[in-house]
A and B are shown apart, each in its own frame.
Chain A
């Protein structure tokens, strides 16, 4: 038994039978990190003492034979844009390099409350702006399947850590695909919940109407376990929705008989690699054999989603990032003689090129005389995209597409061309604009790199996408393949 290859639910069973301790698992992962993270570079910060302390506490409960929560004593990694009062929280930005928040994000409190063991904070594209983790203000994370390639982004550190066996499960955040795209690139499961399902309190804001926290895991059951713990209303986030949270593990039923699946036509055409289209076709065929009913569906406004997103997301980002003013926390440039130059210099030194670019696009789109032409127009197109989804869901229970148009690209391949980088999120962005839940699960390989299948659900119907994903997973072997990091 290799501890780093276990899932949370497998570890839980071993704890119940007293076959292994949390301390043993935690130390095994720490050794794994020691050995592989030089190559993968998934972590911005590790919390070894804290992890062993919490593992020890879990072990006392295990020893006493107390009833354990499914994540009790399980090592988790947290994307470094979620506030942790016991560990640095950088958003992979130089402007927050030494930031120790005075509070925990709600999701972090949720994990601590059930005895999960935080082992470290993972790398991301600075402020979650990017699709490759190359925009980190510190260093690039590499894909465990082939370290010449990117892990995707922005939750590239979390996806790579889970894929490389450096964490059992991880949290990510998804604004335009930042959980699903790296999950796809790294061959793991990634779920973006419905907007409002999970509290964003303590998530460092990027685009507030799109951001959502979710899990990255080795299989679908672990995603359901994580969802049970992080979901729910939080008075501290007024956009979190006050409605009952189902037990997502009840969706772990391998049955899609009679399920109506729409295969999105716009995401199976030109611009999508042939191997990916073929894998998705095979996956759909598999689901059909298992009893689902498949039909093509057209969502004509999809081709405008990326353009819409690149007005709305930067506009919201430019407002959110105005808070980095060197007054209350974070970096302050030295030697500024007046307030204005303190702002200018701090932000010039603290932000990387992509963050600056998005602040510029957003400020431009919101500036006097342009607001109606860009921001308001984009919000109207957002309505049309929403309506396309509504219409499709009148007929279908879930929609399916590839998660990404290509497999993981090479480090450096797109870093000089922002627009081509933006287009790598063509399949995931529409889902954020519509606030819907979606999951990416492994469905094949192309030249040794993983391919992801995206399953999109109706708002607040994570259960059906989990059930569909679980059914596919239980009838295939892709999720059992592990990278050999070298």
Chain B
């Protein structure tokens, strides 16, 4: 699959990733090559083959539904880019 600049822009938007014009051009070329390489797996017949998400058999682990008091709220808030009281602060999201 050829990845053009328009696709790059679309994917970058999905990924919330700002790209310069130069990066868009470069990625279009590089991504085309990488995706084309990845497509070599299409040569393999995977009809009736189940997918593997984890190589070692795993099952979902549930923990007890119990309240734990978290004592380090300040340690977490102190490393935030911006905070107010005990909240993370972000630019305005509602008009």
Contacts and interface: CB of A to CB of B under 8 A. Distances in A.
A363 B14 contact: yes
Contact of A381 (B7, B11, B41, B61): B41
Interface in A347-362: 347-348, 351, 353, 356-357, 359-361
Given A342-B90, A435-B55, A363 B46 contact: no
Interface stretch (A25-33, A142-150, A257-265, A305-313): A305-313
Interface in B39-60: 39-44, 46, 49-56, 58, 60
Given A348-B18, A386-B52, A308 B58 contact: no
B81 A381 contact: no
A103 B75 CA distance: 9
Given A307-B38, A379-B51, A344 B31 contact: no
A99 B79 contact: yes
B70 to A, nearest CB: 11
A329 B55 contact: no
B58 to A, nearest CB: 6
Interface string B4-30: 000110011011111110010001001
A360 B15 contact: yes
Task: Determine chain B's interface SS by DSSP, over half rule.
Answer: loop
Contacts of A396: none
Interface stretch (A38-46, A216-224, A330-338): A330-338
Contacts of A282: none
A194 B56 contact: yes
A372 B27 CA distance: 23
A364 B91 contact: no
Interface string A423-451: 00000000001111000000000000000
A459 B56 contact: yes
Given A326-B81, A344-B16, A377-B46, A382 B34 contact: no
A384 interface: yes
A102 B79 contact: yes
A339 B91 contact: yes
Contact of A328 (B16, B43, B46, B88): B88
Given A194-B56, A337-B91, A418-B30, A332 B82 contact: yes
A374 B42 CA distance: 9
A106 interface: no
Given A195-B56, A377-B41, A433-B55, A361 B34 contact: yes
Nearest to A240: B61
A277 B76 CA distance: 51
A20 interface: no
Interface in B71-95: 72, 75-76, 79-82, 88, 90-93
A338 B38 contact: no
A327 B3 contact: no
A476 interface: no
A376 B38 CA distance: 13
Contact of B40 (A235, A307, A418): A307
A464 interface: no
B2 interface: no
Given A195-B55, A338-B91, A367-B11, A351 B37 contact: no
Nearest to A301: B44
B11 A384 contact: no
Interface in A375-423: 376-384, 386, 418-419, 422
16 contacts: A100-B79, A102-B75, A194-B56, A195-B54, A238-B61, A301-B44, A329-B79, A348-B17, A361-B35, A364-B11, A367-B14, A382-B51, A383-B49, A383-B52, A418-B30, A435-B54
Closest 10 CB pairs of A and B: A435-B55, A348-B18, A379-B51, A344-B18, A332-B81, A102-B75, A380-B46, A238-B61, A343-B16, A363-B15
Interface of B: 3, 7-8, 11-12, 14-20, 23, 27, 30-31, 33-35, 37-44, 46, 49-56, 58, 60-61, 63, 72, 75-76, 79-82, 88, 90-93
